[in-house]
Amino acid sequence: MSTEERAQEWAVVVNDEEQYSVWPADRPAPAGWHETGRHGTREECLEHIAQVWTDMRPLSLRKRLEAQK
């Protein structure tokens, strides 16, 4: 991780498949990605993601499997 990455403020973002990632807090998230409201250093954001992203299957797959049960 570069110094810039460490120094910067990051946001936890999530897409419609409920896949998580991080994005610079001072830039709007790319289309299809939404801010979760969680900000911090990159490390802090990733730590947060480790807590919340417990089922890593994409949402569409989870829904399909759920529907077929």
Partner 1 sequence: MTPSPTAPLSFSQERIWFLEQLTPGTALQNIPLAVRLTGDLDVAALTGALRGILRRHDALRTAVTVVDGHPVQQVSDAVDLSVPLTDLSGPDATLAEASAQDWLREQARTPLHLDRAPLMRAALARLGERHHILAVTVHHIAFDGWSVGVLMRELGERYTAALEGRAVTLSELPLQYADFAARQRAAFASGDMADDLAHWRGALAGDLPVLELPTDRTRPETATYRGATVSRVLPDDCADAVAALARAGGVTPYMVLLGGYAALLGRWGGQRSVVVGSPIAGRTSEDLEKLIGFFVNSVALHIDLSGDPGFGELLRRVRKKALGAYAHQSVPFEKVVEELSPGRESNRAPLFQTMFVLQNAPADGLRLPGLEVQPLHVHNGTAKFDLLMSVSKLPEGLTVTLEYDTALFEEGTAARLLEQYETLLRGAAAAPDTPLSRLPLIDATETARLLALGQSGACFPVQGTLHGTFEEQARRRPDATALTFEGHHLSYAELDSRANALAARLRDLGIDTESLVGLYLNRSPDTVVSILAVLKAGAAYVPMDAAYPGPRVARILSDARPSVLVVHDALRDRLPEYDGHLLVVDGQDVPAQSPAAPQAAAPLGPDNAAYVIYTSGSTGTPKGVQITHANVLRLFAATREQYRFDHHDVWPLFHSYAFDVSVWELWGALLHGGRLVVVPDATARDAEAYRELVRAEGVTVLNQTPSAFVHFSAADARCAPDELALRWIIFAGEALEPGSLKGWFARHGDRTPRLVNMYGITETTVHVTVREMTRDDLTPARRSPIGRPMPDLALYVLDGHLQPVPVGTTGELHVGGPGLARCYFGAPALTADRFVPDPFGATPGGRLYRSGDLARITPEGEIEYLGRADHQIKVRGYRIEAGEIESQLLDHPAVDSAVVMPQRDPGGDLRLIAYVTYHGQQVSGEALRGLLAERLPGYMLPWRIVVLDTLPLTVNGKVDRAALPEPGSERPFATTAYAEPRDATERAVADAFAAVLGLDRVGVQDNFFDLGGHSLLATRLVFRLREDLSTELPLRTLFEIPTVEGIAAAVRRSGGSGVLPHDLARVLAAEAQPPGGLTGFRTPDPQVLTKPADVLLTGATGFLGAFLLRELIRTTDADVHCLVRAEDGYRARQRIEATARRYGVWDEETARRIRPVVGDLSAPGLGLAAPEADRLAHTVDAIYHCGASVNLVYPYEQLRAANVDGTKELVRLADRSGRAPLHYISTVGVFAAPPAHGGAARETDVTGPAGQLRQGYTQSKWVGEQVVLKAAAAGLPVTVHRPSRIAGDSRSGACQTDDYLWRVIKGCVQAGAYPADARVLTDLVPVDHVSAAVVALSHDPRAIGRVHHLVNPHPVPLSEVLGHVRAFGYELTGLTFAEWARAIAADTDNAAYPLLGVLEAGSGSDGGLRFDQGDTAALLDATPLRCPVLDADLMHRYLTHFVRTGFLPATA
Position among 23, 36, 37, 38 found at the interface with partner 1 (CB under 8 A): 23
Question: Dihedral of CA 2/51/36/56: which sign?
Answer: positive
Residue 58 found at the interface with partner 1 (CB under 8 A): yes
CA angle 42–46–51, rounded 5-degree value: 150
Cα radius of gyration rounded to whole Å, the chain: 14
Q: Does residue 37 belong to the site contacting partner 1 (CB under 8 A)?
A: no
The site for partner 1 (CB under 8 A) is made up of 2-5, 7, 13, 15-17, 19-24, 29-33, 42, 45-47, 49-50, 52-54, 56-58, 60-61, 64-65, 68-69
